Amino acid sequence: MSVMAPAADTKLTGLVAATFTPFTTQGELNLSEIGRYIDYLKEKQGVNNIFVNGTTGEGMSLSVAERKMLAEEWCKKAKGKMDQVIVHVGCMSLKDSQELAHHAAQIGAEGIAVIAPSFFKPSSADVLKKFLQEVSSSAPTLPFYYYHIPAVTGVNVLARDVLEDIETLIPSFRGVKFSACDLMDFGQCISYSAPHWSVLYGVDEQLLASLAFGANGAVGSTYNYVGSHVNKLITAFEKGDLVQARNIQFKIQELISFAKKLGFDVGVNKQLMSEVSGLRLGPPRLPLMLCPPANAVSIAQKYHSLFPEP
C-alpha cells in the first residue's frame, strides 16, 4: 500500500469503521481526540478505512460548519494511516449536501456517500437518483456511494432500483452501503454491480450472510471495537472455514442482542466504544442520550467476556 498514490478510485474493500463523533462533556466537537482515534482503529482493530459523519457519527445532528471541521480533521489525521476516508454528505437540504460534497473534494477525501433525504421523502427511486445526481455534480470526480438505510430514513425504495443505469446519471458512482436486512435486494445489487463498484454491507450482526452473497466489504459501527475479530471472520470465510466464521458472528450477535435489551442506540454505542477503547468520545447530542452508567458497564462486561484480551 503506497502512501503516495491517492487512494481515490481504488476499489473499497474490507472493513470500514463508521466513526463516532467525539464531543467534549459540554457537547462541543472534540477534534483533539481524532488522531488517537485513528491510531486506535489502525493499531488495535486492524481497520484501515473510515466512514465519517454518518449515522454513527450523528451526522444529521451536526451543523454544516461542524461537519466540515470534522471531515477536515479526519482527512488530515488519516493521511498516511488510513487507506480511505469516506465522508457522508447527505442532508435534508440539497444545497447543504452540495456544499459538503464540494468541501469533501477540496480536502482530499477518497469518496462521499449520500443518504436519502427523509423529511420530504423522494417519491420514487428515480426522484432519489435525481437528488443523488445533483449532489454528485458538486464533486463530479469524487467516488460516490449511495447510502441505503430504509429503516432509518423511511425511504422504502429497493436499492437495486436506485442502481439501475445510475452511472449514466452519476459517472463517479462507485457503490452502495447497504444497511438493511433484505438480502434479496442485496443479492440483486451484487448481481447488477459493475466490477469497479463496491457493495458494502451495513448490518454488522449478519455480515456473514452478506459475504455469502458476495459483499465486497462492510461499513459499520461495531467495527470500531470488534474490527480485529471481524477481520478474522472474513479471513475464515475466505478460507471456507464457516464454523470459525459463525463462531465470531454469533458472539457479535450475542453482544448486540444483550445490548438491545438494555436500550442500544447510537448514544449507548458511543458510550460502549469509550469504555472499551479508553477514548474520550463524550456524550451524544440530543435527542440521543447516554444510558445509565450501570447499563453501560454491564454491556462493556459482556463485551469483555465475549472478546477477552489475548
Ligand X SMILES: CC(=O)N[C@H](C=O)[C@@H](O)[C@H](O)[C@H](O)CO
Determine the interface stretch with ligand X among 22-30, 83-91, 107-115, 196-204 (rule: CB under 6 A).
196-204
Name the minimum Å distance from CB 163 to ligand X. Answer: 18
Residue with smallest beta-carbon separation from ligand X: 220
Could you say whether residue 90 binds ligand CC(=O)C(=O)O (CB under 6 A)?
Answer: no
> Which CB, 54 or 111, lies closer to ligand CC(=O)C(=O)O?
54
Biggest alpha carbon distance in the chain? 53
273: partner contacted, choices ligand X, ligand CC(=O)C(=O)O, none (Cβ within 5-8 A by kind): none
Q: Is 134 left (phi over 0), alpha (psi -120 to 50) or beta?
A: alpha
- Cell numbers found for residue 12: 473499497
Shortest distance in whole angstroms from residue 73 CB to ligand CC(=O)C(=O)O? 18
Question: d(Cα 137, Cα 169) in Å, to the nearest integer?
Answer: 10
Q: Which does 256 bind (CB under 5 to 8 A by kind): ligand X, ligand CC(=O)C(=O)O, none?
A: ligand X
Work out whether 51 is an interface residue with ligand CC(=O)C(=O)O (CB under 6 A). yes
Q: Out of 37, 147, 201, 223, which one is annotated catalytic?
A: 147
Residue 153 interacting with ligand X (CB under 6 A): no
308 CB neighbour count, 10 Å cutoff: 7
Reported residue count of the chain is 310
Classify residue 12 by its DSSP letter.
P
Q: Which stretch binds ligand X (CB under 6 A): 57-65, 189-197, 198-206, 209-217?
A: 198-206
**Single-letter residue type at 70:** L
Buried/exposed code over 129-155 (b: 16+ C-beta within 10 A; e: otherwise): bebbbbbbebbeebbbbbbbbbeebeb
Instruction: Find the part of the chain contacting ligand X (CB under 6 A) among 39-47, 60-68, 73-81, 220-228.
Output: 220-228
If contact means CB under 5 to 8 A according to the sort of partner, which of ligand X, ligand CC(=O)C(=O)O, none does residue 51 touch?
ligand CC(=O)C(=O)O
Instruction: Decide: 224 and 277 in contact? Cβ < 8 Å.
Output: yes
Measure the CA–CA gap between 145 and 11, rounded to whole angstroms: 12
State the burial class of residue 51 (Cβ atoms within 10 Å of its Cβ: 0-12, 13-18, 19+). buried
Among 45, 56, 210, 274, binds ligand CC(=O)C(=O)O (CB under 6 A): 56
Site for ligand CC(=O)C(=O)O in 1-30 (CB under 6 A): 18
| Binding positions | 56, 219
Establish how many alpha carbons lie within 13 A of residue 307's alpha carbon, considering only the half-sphere containing its beta carbon. 21
Which amino acid, 148? H
Catalytic residue check, 129: no
Annotated catalytic residue 146 = no
For 231, list phi and psi in degrees, rounded to 5.
Answer: -60, -40
Using an 8 Å Cβ cutoff, are 52 and 98 in contact? no
Query: Which residues are identified as catalytic?
Result: 147, 177
- Chain residues binding ligand X by CB under 6 A are 18, 55-56, 149, 152, 179, 202-205, 220-222, 256, 266
- Chain residues binding ligand CC(=O)C(=O)O by CB under 6 A are 18, 51, 54-56, 177, 202, 219-221
